[in-house]
Structure 1
Amino acid sequence: MIHYPAANLTNINLTGGDLTEVVANNTNFTNTNLTNTILSKGNFTTADLSGVKMTDAIAVNANFTNANLTNADLSKVNFTDATFIGANFTASNVDATDFVF
């Protein structure tokens, strides 16, 4: 399990990474590239994911409670059984995204 609580991971390229079960609450991911990244069972509570590119990522059972996802590219992400209580999706692209609960 990877722990990044309250870390600053802005403008990083994590394309194709495996962040399964990551603990990233309060982490700043602004403008980070998470394309094809596995984020399943991760904890992104109150994380700043504004401007991220998360195309084709897998985030099954991930927790995005109160996360900031403004201006994010979330196209084709698998968010099956993910939690989004209080999350902000303002101006985000969710084309072909799977939100099965």
Structure 2
Amino acid sequence: MVDQAVRPIVEAMLSYMPGSWTEAVMHGRAGRSGTSVAGGYSPRRSDWHSRVPGRHEELMTLGKILGQERGWDPASLEIRCRPSGEYRLVAFHDAVT
């Protein structure tokens, strides 16, 4: 279920990609109280807006799944994506906040 929730986020990251990028990184937080997103594409270019798209609805879905499967609410996460569509998700319970 987690992979099904992450795939639309990765697809959005791929659709906003600037030319010659090598990696995109999204840092996020998702839980009952909402979502937050930060990140960008590298290498950064001064002539192109390099922020990753904020896919808050999809992040909420991912947050709900992590809450149900792991008991994490909220969850912090990082998604790293390559132009090939290969991605890595790291998620953990956001116990600090």
For the aligned pair, the TM-score class normalised by the smaller chain equals: under 0.3
**Which TM-score applies when normalising by structure 1?**
0.20
More helix by share: 2
Higher-Rg structure is 2
Q: Relative contact order (C-alpha < 8 Å, sep 6+): which is higher? A: 2
**Which TM-score applies when normalising by structure 2?**
0.20
More strand by share: 2
